[in-house]
């Protein structure tokens, strides 16, 4: 069971860096790189949590 959980978490591991990149681009365009990093960290965290939530719901259905 532990092995499945590790596999499931790695499936969505790209979401945090993707969100960070998107947030940095948006924040840097709006204000500066520091704001971009803050926005990116928030977006990345939210996307990662959403990915884990949907993966957990999918495993509960099976």
Residue 7 lies in a domain: no
pLDDT at residue 10, rounded to an integer? 63
What's the CA angle centered on 17, arms 12 and 20, to 5 degrees? 130
Residue owning tokens 């803050």: 38
Q: What is the DSSP letter of 12?
A: T
Residue 26 lies in a domain: yes
Residue 9 lies in a domain: no
Residue 43 lies in a domain: yes
Q: Report the number of distinct structural domains present in the chain.
A: 1
Residue 8 lies in a domain: no
pLDDT at residue 3, rounded to an integer? 55
pTM as predicted: 0.69
What domain range is 34 assigned to?
14-60
pLDDT, tens digit, 9 for 90 and up, residues 52-62: 888 888 777 76
pLDDT, tens digit, 9 for 90 and up, residues 4-39: 555 555 677 788 888 888 888 888 888 888 888 888
The three-state (H, E, C) secondary structure of the chain, written as one string: CHHHHHHHHHHCCCHHHHHHHHHHHHHHHHCCHHHHHHHHHHHHHHHHHHHHHHHHHHHHHC
Looking at the predicted structure, is the pLDDT value of residue 46 above 60? yes
Residue 40 lies in a domain: yes
């Amino acid at each position: 069971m532990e092995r499945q959980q590790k596999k499931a978490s790695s499936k969505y591991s790209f979401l945090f860096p993707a969100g960070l990149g998107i947030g940095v681009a948006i924040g840097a365009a709006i204000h500066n790189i520091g704001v971009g990093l803050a926005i990116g960290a928030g977006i990345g965290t939210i996307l990662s949590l959403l990915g884990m939530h949907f993966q957990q719901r999918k495993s509960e259905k099976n």
